[in-house]
Structure formats: structure tokens, C-alpha cells
Chain A
């Protein structure tokens, strides 16, 4: 087939991008080459709209072993151990086919982690659905949860934490972000940089099929006759094969035969081979007849663009082929020498003894397009003038009931009970807490991980929103007693070609970067997902942040459940009663205007570090950060989990009870302290200039809010637990 501009555009390339390809090659590409360019130059692989902004992220730190640019980021957790982690989106496939879309998202991110030599030890996910009223939501939720569980459970990796939200902006474009943490010895990390000439290039794992060919934009009629069996663009996952691939790879990695390894994710064999060659500044030669195929008569084009799952590409040391093959034979996986490294700096493909593609590697990578898209600056919205006298008409108990049973607050046990969260025998904090915590097997250490996003705040003011999410993950880690180390981010936005959406992206990245820098909490990995939109309307900007922290001794871990009657509860951080953009404003008042709560990085850092200090001194019995829904929501959760009540003191602020209880001021935590430690705790808080309030005492059974209002824990629990189960029944 002859290639022309029309076919290039059908591949999702722009007219000037096609011209650039012709110029770089000094000729017209053939169809296989065009396919390769379109795969490498699409937004997903090339980051062409985001690259110049991502450079501004804070990515360096003392604990960073590997920052962005590899399969996943790596951080040092001492004693020669390291954690490999990353988050990735699988939004579009999950909307088309929720089970397989979500499952392969989980499979893909686990592969990114074990490609680097790490055994996955924990999975997390952040999933966002349309309004609960939307008729698609229920099935999408059910399918996504089944898919995540189906893959992770079979792999035997615990799913330890997550986040689920509902918002009508996701009605036509749900978000499925999956995160994995793996454990590796610092001196046994594997990278994707090829090195050395004439080294064998090995294909292992599943066979290549026609699934997932060119997910980006292959809806062209002219290819229908080429691809006899048109399969959906969504890949089909096989967690069983991935489990075998994991064990086989780790077995091979225990030796010293691997030079470089790269999983075949998006754009399959194309991007994996080109990335290895590019990083090593080498060429690569592949004989496509050697690629194990699932179906007959697959063309070079199909083989290069297939996104079949559970495949890896390895550059081996010479002479190690037989030894490696034995391992893959044992696990019943395909193993084929498909090519070699060369000094040509070209990627060269052969099929039926003919050269079918020859492209200089640098044209695909360094010369890929990079755009400085137009973007619109946002303004901090003016404060919303809400008539606060009305607040006196609300009964606190009624508001609390509505908030605790709100889809975005209610208990998500219907979801996480479908995930195996205890396999591997090291999960010491299950889903439902501030962070999931797993022990580093066989040591006293534990790793905490959390995932969060605040689309409403980001939508109201992207810079503040970006900062806020970073801070929220930081607080989530501190609340379990972990020292925050680094983050991974999944940047879900609308179209980069829309100035407003692009502005949201640029400013969220700015906010994330500022917070990361201030907190010394760098970004080590991540991905960007643009074009999350229905027709021309983008989703609310939803950067998702996954935070990872370390507990030196797992026995010092903190949970949020109230522990003992008679203990005092303190609120760390200042309560101003910020109602704009709060859940109260949106759900109870139906007010959507105004700025999000301000993020004060100095206070975040100071409050967090002081609390960590208190935890390490063993003064804290339980802790929980205050976020969506405000203080009373947070207190309720601590009561429900601990099956205890609290007698609250009268607030000493000049704000209404509504603002006091449901305002969403940032940088705040609730902590439980034994009366015998109270003096010393207050001492330390004062010494560090941390604002605190003594807000109540733990009692049995009820929350006593004021003289008029009392709620039993059983009532609270029924508000909180029933919504999702009823909705999904």
C-alpha cells in the first residue's frame, strides 16, 4: 500500500507531522514505517504537548535512585532495599470495555515494575465515574472493580488502598488509574538501556495477536480489508500468563545475563525496541518472522503495532540464550531470539527475507514533535457570598447524615472486599485507612502508600488544587506514621488543543511542582492522559498523586480508629471554616462558586513534621487527616472504625457550627492522646508553633456534638456503610 498524507492523517498524524517524517527520512515512508511513526509520535508515547511542562516538575532528592524516564521510579528505603513504583492511566479502554480495560491497566503497571527487577508488593488504584444518576455508572463501576480484582487477585499482589469518586464530568469518560509498588535490592535494579553490539534481542511471554492494534486512531476504512479480523482496540489480559512471566523474569534476573529489559506496553514491540535502542544510542535489527504469533498471516505492520499483553523484550549477554530459554520453558512461556543490537543507529525490520522498515532511531525519539500549546491562565475565583444566617437552620445531624452517605464519602468496602488485600501476608493496614501499609518482607520496615486527587479544587483553581493533592497524600502518609519520600503522578486532563484544558494542565503541574519542592517530596514517575472528554467538553482536571513513605519500624504504625475511652482528641492546624468548594457547599447548598481552601506549604510541612515527631515519640494513639467533608466527617470515621464515641467541646471560634464542622481548611489532623501524655504533646506543639485545639474526649457509643445533638455510632455507621451496597445491589 502506498502511503500519502490522507493515510497519515487517518493514523492520527497531523499534516505537518507527516511532512516532517518525509523530510527526516528524505522519502515517503512505507505503511509499516508510517505505523511506527504514528505510534511513537502520538501523545501517549511522545508526550508532545506535555514535555516542556513536565520538565518543571521537581524530580530530584536524596532518596531518588531513578526519576522519571524509566519504566518506573525508584527510591531508596535503606539497608540496600529500594521501592520501584509508578501510576498509569487506562481511561479510554476502561470506558469501552470496563473489565478488560481495567484489568490490563493493572497488568501493565505491574509489568512496568517487575521489568525493573522488583517483585510487586502492593497495588493501588484511583477510579472516577460519572454521576450515580448516570445510567452507565453502575455497570462501569462493576466492570472496573471486577477487572482490577480479576487481574490483581490472580497475580497474588495485594490491593491495599484506593480512591473512588463520582462526578458528572466523568459521565462520558471514566478514569482508571492503577499504581504498583515493587521491592528490589538496590544493586539488582534493571534498566531499559541497551548496550553492546551484536547482543541477542529476545522476545518472551505471550504470543503476538491482533488485539489492541493501534488503539490511538485506527478507525479507517482503508485498513478494514487489510485486517481480516477486526478486533476491538482494547487489549485482552491474561493474568495467569503475567504471573508466569513475573516468576520467569525474576528467576532470570537472579543471574547476570540481562543487559536491558523493557516490557511491551503501549505501542508494543515498536516502542519497546526503539526505547532500548535510543537509550543505548544503538541500532536494532529484528527479523519479524521470528516473533511468536498467535494468528496466521500477520503482517509486519500488525506485528509491530499489536498491543498484546504479557510480553517482554530483553537484550541478553552473548551465549546466555540457552540458559535463559530453560527458565522460560519451565514456566511454559514463549522465548525467541528475534534480532540483535547493531551500530547503525537504525531500527531495521526484516520480513520474509526482505527489509520492510529502516528508520533512524533518533528521528522517532529526539526528533519527535514537541509543542508549546497555547494555554489560558486561570484566576483565583472571588469568595462566594453565601448567606450564612441560613446556616442556623441546618440541623448538624441531618447534614452529617447526608455527607456520610454521599457517594464520595461513603465507605467503599463493597469495592475493596473484592480485591485480595491480604495475600503475601504482609498487609498491616488494609484499605479504608489513610494509607495502605505493607511490611518489607522479613524486616522491621514497612512501606505506606496512598493515592489521591481533588478534581473539584483543581477545577476551581488549578495551582491551588495541584498543591493540595500533593499535600493530601503527604498527610495521608504521616497519619499512619510513615515518613513521606516521593510521589508518582497520573495527569488526567481534557484536550491539550483546548486552551482552557491546557491551562489547567500547566497550572496543576505548577502547583504539584511547588508543593513537591517545598516538602522535599519529588516526583519519580508518572504519565499523562490527555483527551479525556466527551464531545468538546473536558473532564474536571484530575491529576492523581500516589505517595509513598517509609516506617522504620512497622510496630509504630498508626491507624485512625479511636482506641480508648477517656483519651483526649486534639485538632492540629487552624480551623478558619472555609466553605467554598467544600462538600457541604456542593452537596447541601448546591453552590459551586468560589475558591478552594488555601494551601499554606509552611504549615503543611511544619504540622506534618511535628506530628511525625510525636508519633515517633509514641505519644499518638490514633490519627487521621481532615479532608473532604471537614472535621466532623473525619471524626465520624474515627468513631466508626474504633467503635467509640466522642464528647465534643464548644468551639471557641467566631464562626458558625457549620463552618467549624464542615469547612475544609487544609493542613489539619485529628490526633488521639492519652491524658498522661497531653502536657508533653502540647509542649511539643507549642515549641514548634503548631496551632492546635483540644476538641473533645473519647466516650462510649455517641458523638455528643452539643447539648442538643447526639448521634450514636451505629447510626453513623449505617449512614456511611449502606449507600454503595444499596446502589450496587
Chain B
């Protein structure tokens, strides 16, 4: 399976994503933001980091990068696109997934392990996953997902919420919410479920010496689903 990771100026999880995808069997290519064309890919990943220094608004300038025209076309024609952290912010700014990402409720960058509940398995990203609750890792300053009531209703009606922050038993409540996101939303799909944006970094959870191994479960499952 072929994947591509886009490097924007200021991306800093691009290498980590490359390491993870390669480890689990993807043939990965790094793509420069200023390129016009995407290599032939089964999956496009927008990695974490601080594209364009997060100036103006997180993800806003990257969403206007040259390569993003191709990424948007790829997504609109049904191609799989995943945005992690800053990549999620770019997806939001590009209008590929609904809503916005505000500054964390306590106005602080937050880096720690969290649990997320997988709600919707009728999509390529989470299909066949044998776990309901995953331990992931977050590291962000602007992960506070927000949308209008109308949007929320639409998102819920379409089953677009991908993952929620929860405790280790899968309970979602305000106390466990690390950044104040609406409904504890940690990740969201587009209507067609071929685009996923999420704040947690599965690429940081890919071996037992790191913060955990649930990232491995996610990537292995993803590869199998694409095959």
C-alpha cells in the first residue's frame, strides 16, 4: 500500500509519521508542500507540527499551499486522507471536515496520554478494530473542537464523530475532556468518511518502549482495511 506524508514548512511530526507508516508496511513517500502533483497514493497524511508557525490561525496558511489543491481533489474523489493534530487543523481550514479548532480551554499546551472511544467503525479507518477504547497521546495547544448547533446536529445525524475523549472504561464526561472540545470530540470525519481529522498522535504509540502501543493496533488495522 502506498502512502504520502506532506511536509509543510514547520511540520515536525512528518518524520515520525513516516517511521510509523513504514514500520507497519506502507510504502511511504514524503511530499513537499510546494509540489503540484501527489504521487500515486492509497493514503495521504497531513502530519502534526506548526505549519507556517501557526501564524494567522493554525493550519490556515498550509491549507492554501500548492499541494493542497491536489489533496482536496484527491479527497473529493474519494481518496483516503488523514490529518493528525496540525494536520486536523489544516483539514478544518481547507473545509474538508466541518468545524473549527479553538485554543485549549485552560489556555495551555497539553502533552499527555489520553483515552479515546471509537464510536463509528463503518469506515476504512476503524473498520474491524477489535478495541473500543484506545490509549493515544495528545500534544497540542489548539485542540478544542467547536462547531455550531446546526453543524453538530448534522455531524451527529451523519455519524461523523470518529473518536471521543473518554476514561479508560470508555465513559465520556467533562472531567476527562483535556481541552474543552464540544461533546468530547477528539476526531471527526467528513460526510463520506474518507477524510479523518484527529488531535491524538497514533504515530507516537508504536512500540512498548514509548507511551504505549495502541498506535500499532490502529496502523495495522488501517493497513488491512486498505489492502
Closest to B9 in A: A244
Which residues from B are CB-within-8-Å of A416? 111
Establish whether residues B53 and A240, one from each chain, have CB atoms under 8 Å apart when the complex forms: yes
Establish whether residues B53 and A239, one from each chain, have CB atoms under 8 Å apart when the complex forms: yes
Which residues from A are CB-within-8-Å of B34? 330
Q: What is the CA–CA distance of A146 and B108 in the complex, to the nearest angstrom?
A: 8
**One of A52-60, A110-118, A152-160, A564-572 contacting the partner:** A152-160
Q: What is the CA–CA distance of A238 and B54 in the complex, to the nearest angstrom?
A: 11
Q: What is the CA–CA distance of A239 and B53 in the complex, to the nearest angstrom?
A: 7
Interface residue A624 (Cβ < 8 Å from any Cβ of B): no
Interface residue A427 (Cβ < 8 Å from any Cβ of B): yes
Interface residue A149 (Cβ < 8 Å from any Cβ of B): yes
Interface residue A331 (Cβ < 8 Å from any Cβ of B): yes
Establish whether residues A155 and B204, one from each chain, have CB atoms under 8 Å apart when the complex forms: no
B19 touches which of A154, A155, A425 (Cβ 8 Å)? A425
Establish whether residues A418 and B209, one from each chain, have CB atoms under 8 Å apart when the complex forms: no
Q: A154-B53, A154-B54, A239-B53 are in contact. Are A422 and B210 (CB under 8 A)?
A: yes
Secondary structure type dominating chain A contacts: mixed
Closest to A243 in B: B10
Establish whether residues A555 and B209, one from each chain, have CB atoms under 8 Å apart when the complex forms: yes
Establish whether residues A420 and B139, one from each chain, have CB atoms under 8 Å apart when the complex forms: yes
Which residues from B are CB-within-8-Å of A156? 12-13, 49-50
Closest to A152 in B: B109
Which residues from B are CB-within-8-Å of A239? 50, 53
Nearest CB on B from A10, distance (A) = 37
Establish whether residues A418 and B55, one from each chain, have CB atoms under 8 Å apart when the complex forms: no
Interface residue A717 (Cβ < 8 Å from any Cβ of B): no
Which residues from A are CB-within-8-Å of B109? 146, 149-150, 153, 418-420
Which residues from B are CB-within-8-Å of A146? 108-109
Q: A417-B110, A418-B109, A420-B111 are in contact. Are A240 and B16 (CB under 8 A)?
A: no
- In chain B, positions 130-145 with a C-beta closer than 8 Å to chain A are 137, 139, 141
Q: A419-B111, A424-B16, A425-B203 are in contact. Are A243 and B139 (CB under 8 A)?
A: no
1/0 per residue, CB under 8 A from A, across B182-203: the answer is 0000000000000000000101
Q: A240-B52, A417-B112, A420-B109 are in contact. Are A427 and B12 (CB under 8 A)?
A: no
Q: What is the CA–CA distance of A241 and B209 in the complex, to the nearest angstrom?
A: 32
Establish whether residues A423 and B54, one from each chain, have CB atoms under 8 Å apart when the complex forms: no
Q: A417-B111, A418-B110 are in contact. Are A423 and B139 (CB under 8 A)?
A: yes
Interface residue A140 (Cβ < 8 Å from any Cβ of B): no
- In chain A, positions 377-424 with a C-beta closer than 8 Å to chain B are 416-424
Closest to A413 in B: B112
Interface residue B221 (Cβ < 8 Å from any Cβ of A): no
Establish whether residues A424 and B210, one from each chain, have CB atoms under 8 Å apart when the complex forms: no
1/0 per residue, CB under 8 A from A, across B116-157: the answer is 000000000000000000000101010000000000000000
Nearest CB on A from B31, distance (A) = 14
Establish whether residues B111 and A425, one from each chain, have CB atoms under 8 Å apart when the complex forms: no
Interface residue B15 (Cβ < 8 Å from any Cβ of A): yes
- In chain A, positions 663-690 with a C-beta closer than 8 Å to chain B are none
Interface residue B211 (Cβ < 8 Å from any Cβ of A): yes
B10 touches which of A240, A419, A425 (Cβ 8 Å)? A240
Interface residue B206 (Cβ < 8 Å from any Cβ of A): yes
Q: What is the CA–CA distance of A113 and B210 in the complex, to the nearest angstrom?
A: 25
Interface residue A170 (Cβ < 8 Å from any Cβ of B): no
- In chain A, positions 552-583 with a C-beta closer than 8 Å to chain B are 554-555, 557
Number of residues of chain B lying within 8 A (CB) of chain A:
31
Which residues from A are CB-within-8-Å of B204? 422-423, 425
Establish whether residues B53 and A427, one from each chain, have CB atoms under 8 Å apart when the complex forms: no
Which residues from A are CB-within-8-Å of B203? 425
Nearest CB on A from B154, distance (A) = 34
Which residues from A are CB-within-8-Å of B52? 240
Q: What is the CA–CA distance of A419 and B108 in the complex, to the nearest angstrom?
A: 10
Closest to B106 in A: A729
1/0 per residue, CB under 8 A from B, across A229-259: the answer is 0000000001111011000000000000000
Nearest CB on A from B11, distance (A) = 8
Interface residue A332 (Cβ < 8 Å from any Cβ of B): yes
Which residues from A are CB-within-8-Å of B111? 153, 416-422
Interface residue A599 (Cβ < 8 Å from any Cβ of B): no
Closest to B50 in A: A154
Establish whether residues A423 and B209, one from each chain, have CB atoms under 8 Å apart when the complex forms: no
Which residues from B are CB-within-8-Å of A417? 108, 110-112
Interface residue A325 (Cβ < 8 Å from any Cβ of B): no
Q: What is the CA–CA distance of A332 and B52 in the complex, to the nearest angstrom?
A: 11
Q: What is the CA–CA distance of A20 and B77 in the complex, to the nearest angstrom?
A: 75
Establish whether residues B110 and A554, one from each chain, have CB atoms under 8 Å apart when the complex forms: no
Interface residue A92 (Cβ < 8 Å from any Cβ of B): no
Interface residue A439 (Cβ < 8 Å from any Cβ of B): yes
1/0 per residue, CB under 8 A from B, across A413-443: the answer is 0001111111111011010000000010000
Q: What is the CA–CA distance of A448 and B215 in the complex, to the nearest angstrom?
A: 25
Q: What is the CA–CA distance of A646 and B210 in the complex, to the nearest angstrom?
A: 28
Establish whether residues A425 and B112, one from each chain, have CB atoms under 8 Å apart when the complex forms: no
Q: What is the CA–CA distance of A427 and B139 in the complex, to the nearest angstrom?
A: 14
Closest to A439 in B: B209
Establish whether residues B211 and A154, one from each chain, have CB atoms under 8 Å apart when the complex forms: no
Establish whether residues B19 and A153, one from each chain, have CB atoms under 8 Å apart when the complex forms: no
Nearest CB on B from A414, distance (A) = 9
Which residues from A are CB-within-8-Å of B110? 417-418
Establish whether residues B12 and A155, one from each chain, have CB atoms under 8 Å apart when the complex forms: yes
Q: What is the CA–CA distance of A433 and B24 in the complex, to the nearest angstrom?
A: 30
Which residues from A are CB-within-8-Å of B10? 154, 240, 243-244
Establish whether residues A424 and B15, one from each chain, have CB atoms under 8 Å apart when the complex forms: yes
- 3 closest A-B pairs (Cβ-Cβ)? A156-B12, A240-B53, A425-B16
Q: List 21 A-B contacts (CB under 8 A).
A: A149-B109, A150-B109, A153-B111, A240-B10, A240-B53, A243-B12, A243-B50, A331-B9, A416-B111, A417-B110, A417-B111, A418-B110, A418-B111, A422-B201, A423-B16, A425-B16, A425-B19, A425-B203, A425-B206, A555-B209, A557-B209
Interface residues of A (CB under 8 A from B): 146, 149-150, 153-156, 238-241, 243-244, 330-332, 416-425, 427-428, 430, 439, 554-555, 557
Interface residues of B (CB under 8 A from A): 9-10, 12-13, 15-16, 19-20, 34, 48-50, 52-55, 108-112, 137, 139, 141, 201, 203-204, 206, 209-211
